[in-house]
Amino acid sequence: MNFDLNKEQCAWREKVRDFAEKEVKPLARYNDENQHFDTELTLKMGRVGLLGMTVPKDYGGLGLDNLSYIIAVEELARVDGSTAATIAADNSLGIGPIKDYGTEEQKRKYLPQLCKDRLWGFGLTESDAGSDSRGTKTTATPIGDQWVLEGEKIFITNSATPITLGTTVQAVSGMKDGKLEFTALLVENGMEGFEQTPMDDKMMWRASNTGKLVFNKVRLSHEHILGAVGEGSHLMLATLDAGRLSIAAMGLGCAQGAYEMALDYSKQRVQFGKPVSKFQAVAFKLADMAVQIDAARGLLYKACWLKDQGRSYGKEAAMAKLYCSEVAATVCDNAVQVMGGHGLLKAYDMERFYRDQRILQIGEGTSEILRLVISRAIGC
């Protein structure tokens, strides 16, 4: 067994950490306060290869393995949840399905732009379809040689930015054996009848773009169908399996950043004549954080390794997402405690980390749904 990252993965971590420290961290508080989706920063991230990391070089990506991608998300989340969310949602949910299920023509059309300077969304959630995606009401109706799309989506990350190219949308396309049949469609921003509105005033990820989408008789041709007609649900749910690794990486990075902040603060803050890190009650909190973070990293990297080996990883991805997001919650809570009142001030980044971790137990499978997935996988 070898627990070391290889030379390329180590160099990649260093490169992303350097970028995160120099380019992301200085802007994070301002962007959060102002709910500012930072187009310039996103374009800069495109220039260092953070868009389309696992896309083969042939289509304009870096051709990295999944673990390297996860390391990049972890490093971004170590300084800012919103920026990590933009990159993770784009790579796994936006680009992922086109890379994995697109025709050669679709890949040539979209991937080079998406690896450079455009974003793509993943449109599953609706008002009546959250955890239960079979509650989808958006419809795709075949009329002549076209499909007509009608309905609405909510909570779609990256779908309403100035550089969004489009969104993959799940729609009901008919019935088979008495059951609803779903199809995934590639819907481009700018198409007639397609509207995107930012959903503002979130508690967390305030600098990440979240959109409401309306499809008012949007006309699509057969080239806009991703995968086969009727295969949409399978394709969207398989994408979420991979997406769970990204959310886990955000939890791990968030916990790491919060822990480092608390450790640093505890060594500088003097009470009763000594640094608070010297009080056992504080030191033990920090020790627990270190243990939880290491365990979370082990679980996540193992799931990535399985994926990189081409082995089944659904159960492990669910475990990693569940555990890393809960570790992020515990670590952030204890990190605030270690920092006392200062941890609650907006002048310290800890307050933002405390808010940003909260989504991680909800997005891409709530903790309750993940426990359901894991309990089924272990034969309950």
Ligand X SMILES: Cc1cc2nc3c(=O)[nH]c(=O)nc-3n(C[C@H](O)[C@H](O)[C@H](O)COP(=O)(O)OP(=O)(O)OC[C@H]3O[C@@H](n4cnc5c(N)ncnc54)[C@H](O)[C@@H]3O)c2cc1C
Q: Does 372 bind ligand X (CB under 6 A)?
A: yes
Dihedral of alpha carbons 29, 31, 35, 37, sign? negative
| Least Cβ distance, residue 157 to ligand X (angstroms) | 3
Query: Rounded distance, CA 294 to CA 331, Å?
Result: 12
Alpha-carbon distance of 143 to 237, in angstroms, equals: 27
Closest separation in Å from C-beta 252 to ligand X: 19
* 61 touches ligand X (CB under 6 A): no
Applying CB under 6 A, the site for ligand X has a residue count of 23
Q: Other C-beta atoms within 10 Å of 376: how many?
A: 11
Selected range binding ligand X among 16-24, 180-188, 314-322, 356-364, rule: CB under 6 A: 356-364
Q: Of 62 and 250, which has the nearer Cβ to ligand X?
A: 250
Q: What single letter denotes the amino acid at residue 345?
A: L
Contact set for ligand X, span 107-146 (CB under 6 A): 121-125, 130-131
Tokens coding 221 = 């041709």
Residues noted as catalytic: 364
Q: Site for ligand X (CB under 6 A): which residue of 229, 237, 238, 362? A: 362
Q: Which is nearer to ligand X, 51 or 124 (CB)?
A: 124
Work out the angle between the directed axes of helices 66-77 and 81-88 (0-180°, nearest 10).
Answer: 150
> With respect to ligand X, which residue has the nearer C-beta, 82 or 266?
82
**CB-nearest residue to ligand X:** 130
Picking from 129, 273, 239, 114, the residue whose alpha carbon sits closest to that of residue 137 is 129
Q: Does 168 bind ligand X (CB under 6 A)?
A: no
258-266, 302-310, 323-331, 363-371 -> range binding ligand X (CB under 6 A): 363-371
Nearest to 204 by CA among 157, 164, 260, 161: 157
By the rule CB under 6 A, 186 interacts with ligand X: no
Region near ligand X per CB under 6 A, out of 152-160, 269-277, 293-301, 343-351: 152-160
Q: Check binding of 43 to ligand X (CB under 6 A).
A: no
89 near ligand X, rule: CB under 6 A: yes
Nearer to ligand X, 170 or 277 (CB): 170
- The tally of CA atoms less than 13 A away on the side-chain side of residue 40 is 5
Please tell me the distance from the alpha carbon of residue 232 to that of residue 300, in angstroms, as a whole number: 27
| CA dihedral sign of residues 254, 323, 377, 369 | negative
CB of 224 to ligand X, least distance (A): 18
Residues 6+ apart with CB under 8 A from 44: 23
- Name the residue nearer to ligand X (CB basis): 102 or 363: 363
Q: Minimum distance between the CB of residue 291 and ligand X, rounded to whole angstroms?
A: 27
157: contact with ligand X by CB under 6 A: yes
Tell me if 368 contacts ligand X by CB under 6 A.
yes
DSSP codes joined into one string, 332-356:
HHHHHHHHGGGGGSTTSTHHHHHHH
Site for ligand X in 209-248 (CB under 6 A): 210
CA distances from 83 to 87, 368, 373 (A): 6, 26, 28
Residues that bind ligand X (CB under 6 A): 89, 93, 121-125, 130-131, 155-157, 202, 205, 210, 359, 362-364, 366, 368-369, 372
